[in-house]
Amino acid sequence: MSGYVPTGIQLTYLLAASLFMIGLKQMGSPATARKGNLLGAVAMLLAVVATLLDKQVLSYGLILVAIAIGSAIGSLIAYKVAMTDMPQMVGLLNGLGGLASSLVAVGEYWRVISHGLTLPLVDNLSIIASVLIGNITFTGSMVAFAKLQGIMRGAPIRFAYQQTINILLLVTFAVGAAMLIANPADIVGFIGINIISLLVGVLFVIPIGGGDMPVVISLLNSLSGVAASAAGFVVMNNVLIISGALVGASGLILTQIMCKAMNRTLPNVLFSGFGAALVTEGDAGDNSNKTVKTIDPEECAMMLGYARSVVIVPGYGMAVAQAQHSVRELSDMLERKGVEVKFAIHPVAGRMPGHMNVLLAEANVPYSQLYDMDDINTQFENTDVVLIIGANDVVNPAARTNQASPIYGMPILEVDKAKNAIVIKRGMSAGFAGVENDLFYQQKTMMLFGGAKDMVGKLANELKQI
């Protein structure tokens, strides 16, 4: 374990921790998020430099090689990964953070045991906690990444006695941890708890549907912070303890916000297998005898071009089609014609917290045009046209009107209160919840069938003719 740390390094750690806090606060708003991210990067640089100046650093050569490799990989990823793939990227980075924390604990354990030193109880507990949380975060995040990337199917994967097996694994881990506390030199037992915790991470995430990945990623982000904080206790590094605690707390708060936005509890998200199968017709609402009204790009462009106010609702369909730049172009054209354009953002639209905000920011949509659910819902009654691009469950009025619906009580964007609604969608397939969207069958709703990018491009071309 680390011993005395010079005052100058401790003060640098304190400055880094302060910058982490300020940066985290600024990330709470799209207008200041970039500055907050920069402050966080500066804080991490200070923490790394201070640690490298610590007398306990033994091999600068290996560390510089690792920094060079990591920087090269990070730079390549930053340039190559599309903004639409950012959820997968966040999941992957969460996992690597958990793995790093676990490896710190493994390295410290091996250092102590291989030198025949005594492992104090507090240090042993810190190592066990770091291994458990770090490994679960790693394998759980890898599963989340695989689901979002399409490597694994997004639907929940369930099998008989799944929860029983999970409980038995956790009990086995607890027994192994107790034996390791009694005999810290038990290397076989230490390897065993590592394997068990890695397996628990996989079984923890596979029964969760792809549509719940925003919540899962947020929770795993929190766990990666807790793992980092536990690793900080392992090596007695104050800035690691503080920064990990900040990530853990903020991630947990965000997880609760996401659950509230879906009107579901965290245990329901984690253990219900929501999305495993479509709901019954009685639960979804019987729309079999209803018809939908369709519209073509020319008519749609005329409605948008002659409207006084338009609210655009982006969803996962926009992200999949990578249509954010086309949407920005359409928005600019409408504004030049004197139309007031706003964007309505639902907290769980997309595949990670803030997914729509990130995509629209990447397309340089002004922050002043982005409205969250609570602010925009009061304005729909005075909106001429709502243009829904690839969103489904988050605009389904059944959440407000049908008590038998699985999504009843879920806060939604109340687009059905607008004067007209136009939905860009490839077909009539249900959303993640497996529920037919009552909005599609309302008299003032018109369906514009086709891919988001293609249809938005056609709308822009038609607007030029008006």
Instruction: Specify whether 85 is catalytic.
Output: no
* Three-state secondary structure string covering 173-197: HHHHHHHHHHCCCCHHHHHHHHHHH
Residues 6 or more apart in contact with residue 142 via CB below 8 angstroms: 91, 92, 95, 201, 202
Nearest CA to 136 out of 177, 165, 166 is that of 166
d(CA 421, CA 400): 17
d(CA 214, CA 86): 12
Nearest CA to 385 out of 298, 300, 329, 304 is that of 304
Nearest CA to 313 out of 356, 280, 272 is that of 356
Longest dimension (CA), the chain: 82
Q: Which of 212, 283, 393, 416 is catalytic?
A: 393
Residues 6 or more apart in contact with residue 117 via CB below 8 angstroms: none
Residues 6 or more apart in contact with residue 259 via CB below 8 angstroms: 215, 265, 266, 269
Contact present, 201 and 135 (Cβ < 8 Å) = yes
Token pair, residue 272, equals: 């219900």
Judging by DSSP bridges, how do beta strands 385-389 and 309-314 pair with one another? parallel
Token pair, residue 265, equals: 């509890």
d(CA 330, CA 383): 17
Nearest CA to 134 out of 206, 211, 47, 232 is that of 232
Catalytic residues: 393
